[in-house]
């Protein structure tokens, strides 16, 4: 099983030799984490921050797994919603954890749904081999341990999560002739339009 948490979407797929067996895509990704952090800071801390600031907060102290909260913090600059003036304030990792619960829950539920729809023989393979996280969202601290706790399955972060999907697709495209010669159907892995 691969869970690719990108900027705008999360794509979940159970793969077999013949291609994708079961999948789901949802419009929840890193951007939703950023929006949730900005909204939380606005509502709870009365500070308006921009997109780049909320993304920086996510990358530096963002945390998915409550068990990993360590009271790390960073100073954030924004505009006070109380008096409209520029203001600096400390934002802690537990703020980010609270902020991103909704998008995290959506991803966890989608992964569970795909697991529930996975044929039993492949589900056993998923349990044995684990879930691989890719995409920038997989770099959020503790997302692997959180997902593992909710599914009971080991979760691994890909070696190069930001580009491994593109690299793997490139390798697979170079192997189309090999796949075709071995009797596998090209269209099962990569449906290409006939032009």
Q: Are residues 43 and 139 in the same domain?
A: no
Residue 152 lies in a domain: yes
Report pLDDT for 184: 52
Report pLDDT for 19: 84
Q: Are residues 164 and 119 in the same domain?
A: yes
Cα–Cα distance measured from residue 12 to residue 61, given in angstroms and rounded to the nearest whole number: 26
Q: Which band of pLDDT confidence, cut at 50, 70 and 90, is reported for residue 162?
A: confident
Q: Are residues 118 and 183 in the same domain?
A: yes
Please count the structural domains in the chain.
Answer: 2
Which residues form the domain of 121? Answer: 2-29+104-189
- Beta partners for residue 91, in sequence order: 74
Report pLDDT for 75: 98
Q: Please give the structure tokens belonging to residue 123.
A: 């589900």
Cα–Cα distance measured from residue 34 to residue 140, given in angstroms and rounded to the nearest whole number: 11
Mean pLDDT for the chain overall: 90
- Residue 36's closest CA among 125, 106, 88, 138? 106
Cα–Cα distance measured from residue 56 to residue 49, given in angstroms and rounded to the nearest whole number: 11
Q: Are residues 83 and 158 in the same domain?
A: no
Q: Which band of pLDDT confidence, cut at 50, 70 and 90, is reported for residue 193?
A: very low
Q: Are residues 128 and 88 in the same domain?
A: no
Q: Are residues 161 and 131 in the same domain?
A: yes
Q: Are residues 174 and 132 in the same domain?
A: yes
Report pLDDT for 187: 47
Taking residues 102-109, report their average pLDDT. Answer: 98
Cα–Cα distance measured from residue 63 to residue 97, given in angstroms and rounded to the nearest whole number: 5
Report pLDDT for 7: 94
Taking residues 84-99, report their average pLDDT. Answer: 98
Residue 195 lies in a domain: no
Segment 8-18, tens digit of pLDDT? 999 999 998 87
Q: What is the CATH number of the domain that holds 93?
A: 3.90.640.10
Taking residues 95-113, report their average pLDDT. Answer: 98
Q: Are residues 34 and 119 in the same domain?
A: no
Which of residues 44, 77, 99 is at a domain's end?
A: 99
Taking residues 97-101, report their average pLDDT. Answer: 98
Report pLDDT for 182: 55
Q: What is the CATH number of the domain that holds 23?
A: 3.30.420.40
Q: Are residues 109 and 132 in the same domain?
A: yes
Q: Is the pLDDT of residue 132 over 80?
A: yes
């Amino acid at each position: 099983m691969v869970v690719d948490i990108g900027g705008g979407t999360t794509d979940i797929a159970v793969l077999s030799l013949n291609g994708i067996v079961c999948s789901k895509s949802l419009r929840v990704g890193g951007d939703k984490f950023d929006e949730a952090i900005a909204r939380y800071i606005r509502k709870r801390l009365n500070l308006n921050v921009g997109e780049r600031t909320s993304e920086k907060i996510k990358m530096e102290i963002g945390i998915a797994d409550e068990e990993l909260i360590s009271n790390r913090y960073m100073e954030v600059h924004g505009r006070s919603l109380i008096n409209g003036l520029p203001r600096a304030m400390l934002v802690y990792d537990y703020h980010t954890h609270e902020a991103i619960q909704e998008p995290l829950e959506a991803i966890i539920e989608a992964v569970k749904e795909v697991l529930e729809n996975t044929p039993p023989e492949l589900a056993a393979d998923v349990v044995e081999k684990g879930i691989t996280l890719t995409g920038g969202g997989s770099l959020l601290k503790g997302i692997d341990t959180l997902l593992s706790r909710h599914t009971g399955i080991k979760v691994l972060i890909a070696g190069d999560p930001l580009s491994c999907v593109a690299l793997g697709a490139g390798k697979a495209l170079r192997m189309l002739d090999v796949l075709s010669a071995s009797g596998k159907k090209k269209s099962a892995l990569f449906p290409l339009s006939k032009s």
